[in-house]
Amino acid sequence: MAPSAVQDLPPKGKVIRQTPRSLAHVVLWTTPENYKPMTQFYCNLLNAHVVHVDPVLTFMAYSTLTALAQQYFFLKTCEKPILPLWTVNHGPTTSMYFRDPDGNKIELQVDNFDDVNEANDFMAGPKYDMNPMGTDFDPDEWSEYILSKALPNGEEGSSPADVKALKTRKDIGERKELPEGF
């Protein structure tokens, strides 16, 4: 994963953006006049670049909390900031949801479990049954904390215990509905 730097950031220094470790693809249809704004939006949102002009776009998962925090910070400091609609720890994932220029919802996320069986066990358990939506979090506070621990090269700097604590969903009781407006 090749990091890239963002210039002119707050005093703590530069934020490094990482390319995700895995991709899935999605085809999005848009109007001809909105094609360029959509392409630019996804290049910024996903830290991607165009390798072939086609109506197929990519969706990605980030490999670390630091990589997702770096991307959030980059998006919020763009000339035209891209801010999340909803930030939530679902349990299996820590997720940020955005809306593209055509109104499509996009999820950027980090897996919270190292093993798919652990995620499946969590989703089959009583905590997930009581609250399948998850626990909201403040993205500024969350990213500031994570980025304060990042190594100088932009890699994850939090201890394994700290990462586990950050990925563990806080219990808030029953929650069965999406946030208003989502």
Model pLDDT for residues 52-109, shown as the tens digit of each residue: 554 443 334 578 899 899 999 999 998 989 999 999 999 999 999 998 888 888 888 8
Amino acid at 90: H
Structure tokens at 11: 């005093």
Neighbours of 158 (CB within 10 A): 19
The answer to whether the CB of 100 falls within 8 A of the CB of 45 is: yes
Q: What is the pLDDT of residue 50?
A: 64
Q: Measuring CA to CA, how many Å separate 116 from each of 60, 88, 139?
A: 17, 19, 25
Helix, strand, coil in percent for the chain, rounding step 5: 30, 20, 45
CB atoms within 10 A of CB 156: 19
Q: Is the pLDDT of residue 9 over 50?
A: no
Question: Which ranges of the chain does DSSP label H, i.e. alpha helix?
Answer: 35-46, 65-76, 116-123, 126-130, 139-149, 160-167
- The DSSP string of 40-85 is HHHHHHHT---SS-SSEEEEEEESSHHHHHHHHHHHHTSSS----S
Antiparallel, parallel or unpaired: β 105-111 and 56-62: parallel
- Model confidence pLDDT, tens digit, residues 119-141: 989 999 999 999 999 999 999 99
Above 90 in pLDDT, residue 37? no
